[in-house]
Amino acid sequence: MGNLRTLSLALSVAVVGVALTSCDNGSQAAAKAAADQVSKAISALDVSQAPLSGTDPSAAQTRLKAIVEGLGDVKPTVSAGQANTSNGTTTVPFDFRWQLSGRDWHYTTTARLAQNGDKWTVEWSPELLAPGLQPGEVLVAQTKAPARADILGAGDAKLITERPVLRVGIDKTKVVAKDQDASARALATLVGLDPADYAKQVASAGSQAFVEAIVLRDVPGRTPTDEQVTAISGAVLLPDTLPLAPTRTFARAVLGTVGQATAEQIQKSKGELEAGDETGTGGLEEQYDDELRGQAGVTVYAVASPDAGGPSGSPSASSTASANPTPSAKPSASPSAAPKRQLFTAAPAAGNPLRTTLDPRLQQIADDALAKIGPASAIVAIRPSDGSVLAAASGPGSNGYNTAMLGQYAPGSIFKTIDSLALFRTGAMPDLPVECTPSLTVDGKTFQNATGYPTAHLGTIPLRDAYAHSCNTAFISQRDKVTQEQLQSTATSLGIGLNPGLLGAPGFLGSVPADATSTEHAASMIGQGKILFSPLAAAVMAASVEKGGVVSPRLVLSVGEKDQPSATGSPAATASASASGSPSASASASASQPALAVAKPVTAAEAGTLRDLMRGVVTSGHAGFLLSVPGAPVGAKTGTAEFGSDNPPKTHAWIIGVQGDLAVAVFVDEGGLGATISGPILTDFLTKAAQ
C-alpha cells in the first residue's frame, strides 16, 4: 500500500513537471523569438525597431553606431542561441562573427531578457555587443599591413621586390601659406604634373599635410635631383620602399604593378582591402594578389571615451588603414591616449612568393630590343626542353596590353611550317616540285607573293625553296592535298590551339578553324583568313619543332610551397582583345572556340625535317642575316600577314627562330615585311643572348 502511495505521488510529480516544462518551453520560445529579432537587428546595425528594454531603441541605435564606428564599414553576423532560464533569469547566447581585413573575430556574449506579460525584450547593455564592454567604451580596429611577397624569376632572382623610392611632395609645415601655391606649381612643373591641379590638391589639404606629387625610384642619375626638388620652398623627398621590378618597363604587362587600392578594388575585396592598402593591378600581381599580399594583422581595442557619442580624437571608421602608412596614406588607427583593453588580435601573415620561369637577363634584352618600336610589338622566348617561358616582352606601342601572350593576329607565312608538316603527312617530301607563280586566283580572289619576292625563285621549285623564300602561290597551289580540318589537326601537333594548362597565367595559343570556304582555305595556306596566333603561340610552335614534341609553355612554377595552380587561360576567357583592345569579328569568334586536344604529336623525324627547312631559310633563303649570330646554328621562318582594307594593305611582321635550347618569336604590328622589320630584332636578341 505504501508502495502504491509512493508510485502515485511520483506520477503526480511527473505530471506537474510535464506541465511546468510545457509552460516553460512556450515562454522560452517567445524569449528566443525576441532574441532572434535583436540578433538580426544587430547584424544589420540597426536596432531602432528592436524589442529592447533599459533604454529607448533610438538611443540604443545612436550608441550602437558610436561603439562600432571604429571597426570600419563592416557588419557582424550575429545569431541567437537557445534561451535558458536559471534562478528566474532568462538568457540567450549571442554568437558574433566579424570579418576585419579578412580576419575572423568570433566571440559569444550573453543577452539578458525581461518579460512583461506576454512580451519579451532584450535588456540593452554594451556587454551585449562585445565581451566585457563597459558603458562609455567604443570598439576600435587597428590593422597592420603584412610584408608583400616577391615575384621571383629563374634561379629565384627577385623580379618584383621592395626597392627604395622617394616620395616627392609639398610639406605645408615647411612653407608659409602665401607661398604654398607658387611652390606647388613649381614642383608640379618640375615633375611633369598639371600645375593647377596639384596646386588645388595642396590648397585643399590640411595645414599640417604632406601632399605627395610623385614617387621616384631612388637610383643613381635620376631626375629630378635632390637639389632641384629642395630648391623649391616646402618641397621634400621622403625615403620609402615599394614593390617594384628592376625597371619601369621590365615585363610590365606580364608581371603587373603594385599600388594603393582603388575605391573599386576595395569594394570588390569584400572587406579584405581598406584605404591605404597595397594591392596588385594587372598581370601576375593582380592574378595572385591574395597569395602575394598575405593577410593584414588586426587588433581590436575597447577604448574609453568621455561621452556616449565617442571621444574627441577617438578613432573613427576611417582609422583602419595600415599601421605603417606611407606619407600619402591616411593615418593609421590609433587608440589615442585614452584607456584601452585588447579584445582580439591576429598577427599579420606575410604573403607567399610567386616563382616564375622568367630569365631576368633575357627579359631585359627583350624589353630593350622593343624599346623604340612604335607599333604594338612582342618578343617571346621559350626553352624547348621544358617549355619554360624565359622572356615575354610587349613593346611600348602595346600601351600596357600583354601582346606577347594574349595578342591575336594572322600569323602569315610562319604558318607554312604547319602547311609543310601537313603535306609531309600526305607523303610529300622537301624536294616535292611545286609551282611558284607571280600570282594565283582562287574563286575570283587573287593571291600574290610578298613585295620583293626574288624572280629567280619563280617557276617549278622544290618545296624546301618555296619555304625558304616564302612563295605564297606555291603553298596555295597545294591546298587540295590537305583539308582545312587537317590543317587544324596538324597545328595541334605543334602546340597550336591547345589549352595553356601549365602556363599558370592567361595565354592564347592560337586558333585554326576546322571549316573554311574555298578562298578561306587558300588564305589559310599562307597563315591568313581566320587563323590567329599570339607571339606566345608562335614561340610554342618553334619550340615544338626544336624539341621534336609538343611543348606546353609554363610561366608560373609555384606560389610559396603550393603546387602550380590550374589553368586560367582558355582562349574564351583570356584572349578576347587585340592589342588595341578592339578585337575583330574573326578574333572574337575564334576566341570562343574550345581548346583542342593533340590528335598526333609531331614526331622526332618530322621535327628533324622541319628544322632542316628552317635552317634553309637562313642558309639559302631571305633570313641570311642570322648567319652572323654567334653560337649554335640558327633556324628561322619569316612571316608577313596582310590585314585591313587599305591599298596597299597593312601587314604584320613575324619571325620565329630556334637556336640550341632556345625558341623565339618576334612580332611587330603594322610592321611591313617580317624579314626586314622583325628579322633585325631577332638578330639583336639572339646575339645579345649568346654573349
> Which CATH number do you get for residue 94?
3.10.450.100
- Tens-place pLDDT, residues 168-223: 999 999 999 999 999 999 999 999 999 999 999 999 999 999 999 999 999 999 99
| Domain contains 140 | no
Confidence at residue 428, expressed as pLDDT on a 0 to 100 scale: 97
Q: How far apart are CA 686 and CA 618, in angstroms?
A: 14
- CATH number reported for the structural domain that contains residue 305 in this entry: 3.90.1310
Please name which of 3, 330, 315, 347 lies closest in space to residue 145, comparing C-alpha atoms: 347
Question: 182 and 231, same structural domain?
Answer: yes
Strand partners, 103: 100
Which of 134, 169, 201 is the endpoint of a domain?
A: 134
Q: What are phi and psi of 480, to 5 degrees?
A: -80, -10
Q: How many domains does the chain have?
A: 3
Same-domain check for residues 406 and 480: yes
Whether residue 352 lies inside any domain: the answer is: no
**CA separation, residue 311 to residues 127, 305, 333 (Å):** 19, 4, 14
Q: Is 13 a domain residue?
A: no
Is the domain of 124 the same as that of 156? no
Domain housing 51: 32-134
pLDDT at 647: 77
- The string of pLDDT tens digits covering residues 377-427 is 999 999 999 999 999 999 999 999 999 999 999 999 999 999 999 999 999
Q: Domain check: are 383 and 236 in the same one?
A: no
pTM: 0.80
Asked, for residue 337, whether it belongs to a domain, the answer is: yes
- Spatial distance between the Cα atoms of 415 and 400, rounded to a whole number of angstroms: 27
Tell me whether residue 23 is in a domain.
Answer: no
If asked whether residues 560 and 461 sit together in one domain, one would say yes
- pLDDT tens for residues 339-382? 789 999 999 999 999 999 999 999 999 999 999 999 999 999 99
Q: Is 212:328 a contact under the CB 8 Å cutoff?
A: yes
- Whether residues 421 and 364 fall in one domain: yes
**Do both 275 and 251 map to the same domain?**
yes
Query: 600570282: which residue's cell?
Result: 439
DSSP state for residue 563 in the 8-state scheme: P
**SS3 assignment, position 168:** strand
- CATH code of 542's domain: 3.40.710.10
Query: DSSP assignment of 369-396, as one string?
Result: HHTT--S-EEEEEEETTTTEEEEEEE-G
The kind and range of the H/E element at 591 are helix 585-591
Parts of the chain with a pLDDT under 70: 1-26, 271, 306-338, 561-595
Whether residues 521 and 655 share a domain: the answer is: yes
CA atoms within 13 A on the CB side of 396: 9
Q: Answer whether residue 445 is part of any domain.
A: yes
- Per DSSP, what are the bridge partners of residue 142? 299
What is the pLDDT at residue 660?
96
368 and 342 co-located in one domain: no
Q: Which backbone phi and psi does 363 adopt, to 5 degrees?
A: -65, -40
Burial class, 193, CB count within 10 angstroms (exposed 0-12 / middle 13-18 / buried 19+): middle
- Among 346, 372, 400, the domain boundary falls at 346
Strand (E) or helix (H) holding 33: helix 2-43
| Residue 22 included in any domain | no
Last residue of a domain, one of 81, 109, 134: 134
- Check whether residue 477 and residue 603 sit in a common domain: yes
In this structure, the answer to whether residues 224 and 125 fall within a common structural domain is no
- Pairing label, strands 158-171, 151-152: antiparallel
User: What stretch of H or E contains 344?
Assistant: strand 340-346
pLDDT of residue 25: 58
SS3 for 260? strand
Classify residue 209: in a domain, yes or no. yes
Domain shared by 234 and 309, yes or no: yes
